[in-house]
Amino acid sequence: MGDNAVRVMLVEDNTDHAEMVMRQFELQRVAHHLVHLTDGQAALDYLYGHAPYSDDSKYPQPDIILLDLRLPKVDGLEVLRILKEDENLCSIPVVILTTSSAERDIVQAYSRHANSYLVKPVDFERFRQLMSDLGNYWMSWNQRVE
């Protein structure tokens, strides 16, 4: 991985879902570094450089966050709110990646400035295609500041 590798933070407590996301990102032909965290508190600790993530050379700020809503310790909507209210972190794109298609969740996510809201398909082939499209958009086509 070079210096221009896309840094992806995946915040997902379901290990099967996380494994599918990571596997699909590995198939992308774009250099990336993916860190997987399993709860909302760990995500906040990482983003704010709290132990054990205090070495920012080992734990750099992500270029994009894939955030589940239903997380232990601190739920995804609260992580999103905290992140988007912080002037140092608010510019990081946050893609909600969840099983919930509830209108209430979608409205709350966008009202807290989510950049995208994606519902994980149950069908593996559709999930694979979603991850491929997501990877192409955010890792290849979308322009970001280096």
Decide if 1 is inside a domain. no
**Per-residue b or e along 64-87, where b marks 16 or more CB atoms closer than 10 Å to that residue's CB:** bbbbbbebeebebbbbbbbbbeee
Decide if 144 is inside a domain. no
pLDDT at 28: 72
Contact indicator for 37, 43 with CB cutoff of 8 Å:
yes
Which candidate, 95, 7, 108, places its Cα nearest to that of 57? 7
Strands of the sheet containing 94-98, edge to edge, are 32-37, 6-11, 64-67, 94-98, 116-119
Decide if 23 is inside a domain. yes
Which H/E stretch holds residue 128?
Answer: helix 124-135
Decide if 11 is inside a domain. yes
pLDDT at 30: 67
pLDDT at 1: 41
If the chain, 146 residues long, is cut into consecutive pieces of 10 residues, what is the mean pLDDT of each piece? Answer: 76 92 79 91 97 93 95 97 97 94 96 94 86 76 63
Decide if 142 is inside a domain. no
Domain total of the chain: 1
- Which range of residues forms the domain containing residue 125? 6-137
Decide if 143 is inside a domain. no
pLDDT at 39: 97
Decide if 146 is inside a domain. no
Angle made by CA atoms 106, 126, 144, in degrees to the nearest 5: 60
pLDDT at 2: 46
Decide if 70 is inside a domain. yes
CATH of the domain at 123: 3.40.50.2300
